[in-house]
Chain A
Amino acid sequence: DQQVKQNSPSLSVQEGRISILNCDYTNSMFDYFLWYKKYPAEGPTFLISISSIKDKNEDGRFTVFLNKSAKHLSLHIVPSQPGDSAVYFCAASDGGATNKLIFGTGTLLAVQP
């Protein structure tokens, strides 16, 4: 049962344009969401997060939006740069005693110069 879904395996965007990566979840108990970026042969790098009590969080070029009623979140990257090309993972936590993260399957972003 895939509780966190990233339905787009890949996305291609021109440099300078906006990249929008989407994530859907099914478990209404999730109360914290995170985005990670991963290059080949490296570990995931934390990018940005959002608590379920908020609907937006911004950090530089990265903004995460949360729509709790739709159980949907998105990551916006503006402007996109070639160095942003990587796999992006959405993850969720139920904030319980363990804080284990449930990951989506990832979206490969390619930013074309």
Chain B
Amino acid sequence: NAGVMQNPRHLVRRRGQEARLRCSPMKGHSHVYWYRQLPEEGLKFMVYLQKENIIDESGMPKERFSAEFPKEGPSILRIQQVVRGDSAAYFCASSPPYWASYEQYFGPGTRLTVT
């Protein structure tokens, strides 16, 4: 049973470009969370999605960031017009419905570097 998959593992973008980060949840999981880890900090919640629905985006910056989890295919975190402060590790986690389990299972992360 494959774990949570994220790609790319490393992404380098110049300031002003767009970054697209992909996440495929574990088989049987329909809930996806995105977290960001800045250097020397813990993980910070960004957004929670179910298929075709954004449930909670309270941790997402209001501008330039968006997320989706379409009916078919991976979840996408999109960052437009990246700035140096966006450089971080972005982790995706998946879980069964929360009423079944509180545990979230994380992918290996995408390390975004903005030059």
Query: Which of A89, A98, A105 has its CB near the most chain B CB atoms (within 10 A)?
Result: A98
Asked if A45 CB lies within 8 Å of chain B CBs, one says yes
Q: How large is the interface on B (under 10, 10 to 19, 20 to 34, 35 or more residues)?
A: 20 to 34
B48 to chain A, nearest CB (A): 5
A: residues with CB less than 8 A from B are 4, 6, 32, 34, 36, 41-46, 49, 89, 91, 93, 95, 97-106
B: residues with CB less than 8 A from A are 4, 6, 33, 35, 40-45, 48, 55-56, 58-59, 91, 93, 95, 98, 102-109, 111
23 A-B pairs with CB atoms under 8 Å apart are A6-B42, A34-B104, A41-B108, A41-B109, A41-B111, A46-B104, A49-B102, A95-B98, A95-B102, A98-B56, A99-B95, A99-B98, A99-B104, A100-B48, A101-B35, A101-B43, A101-B93, A102-B45, A103-B35, A103-B42, A103-B44, A105-B40, A105-B42
